[in-house]
C-alpha cells in the first residue's frame, strides 16, 4: 500500500459513514410516511406479514446504525494512527499539509491559501511528505 492509499483510507471511510447516515435519514423519512396495517375485516393471505410496514424501516435503521458505529470506532483508531505517523515526519510543513489534506479534508486551493504557497509548492511539499511518510507494513 502506498502512502497516499494509506492516508486516503480515513477520507474514504468518512465519506462512507456520511453516506450511511444519509441512508438512515431516508429510512426515517420512509418510516414516518408508511401507512399502518389495514384491519378492514377482509380475509388476507396467511403468508402476509403481520408487522406494520414501518417496523421493517425501523429494523433497517437499527442495522445501519450498528454498522455506522463500527465504522466510526474504526475511523477513530485509524485517524489516531495516521496522526501518530504524521508526527513522525521531521518537516513541519509536510506535517501540516498532510493534516490539512487527509485529516481535515481541505481542497488544494484551501491548503495553498492557508499555507500561503503556490500550487506548485503545495504539490512539491505533498510529494516530499508522501516520500517520507512511514507506511505501516
Model confidence pLDDT, tens digit, residues 115-127: 999 999 999 999 9
Q: Residue 76 has what pLDDT?
A: 94
* CA gap 34, 84 in Å, rounded: 48
**Residues whose CB is less than 8 angstroms from the CB of residue 26 and which lie 6 or more positions away in sequence, other chains included:** none
- Report the length, in residues, of the chain: 137
Model confidence pLDDT, tens digit, residues 35-79: 555 556 666 566 655 566 778 888 888 999 999 999 999 999 999
Model confidence pLDDT, tens digit, residues 77-113: 999 999 999 999 999 999 999 999 999 999 999 999 9
∠ Cα 134 73 58 (to 5°): 145
Amino acid at each position: 500500500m502506498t502512502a497516499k492509499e494509506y492516508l486516503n483510507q480515513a477520507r474514504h471511510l468518512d465519506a462512507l459513514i456520511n453516506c450511511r447516515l444519509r441512508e438512515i435519514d431516508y429510512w426515517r423519512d420512509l418510516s414516518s410516511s408508511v401507512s399502518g396495517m389495514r384491519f378492514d375485516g377482509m380475509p388476507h393471505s396467511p403468508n402476509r406479514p403481520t408487522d406494520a410496514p414501518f417496523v421493517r424501516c425501523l429494523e433497517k435503521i437499527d442495522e445501519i446504525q450498528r454498522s455506522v458505529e463500527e465504522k466510526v470506532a474504526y475511523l477513530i483508531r485509524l485517524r489516531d494512527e495516521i496522526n501518530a505517523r504524521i508526527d513522525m515526519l521531521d518537516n513541519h510543513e509536510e506535517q501540516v499539509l498532510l493534516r490539512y489534506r487527509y485529516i481535515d479534508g481541505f481542497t488544494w486551493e484551501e491548503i495553498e491559501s492557508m499555507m500561503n504557497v503556490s500550487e506548485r509548492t503545495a504539490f512539491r511539499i505533498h510529494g516530499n511528505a508522501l516520500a517520507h511518510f512511514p507506511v505501516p507494513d
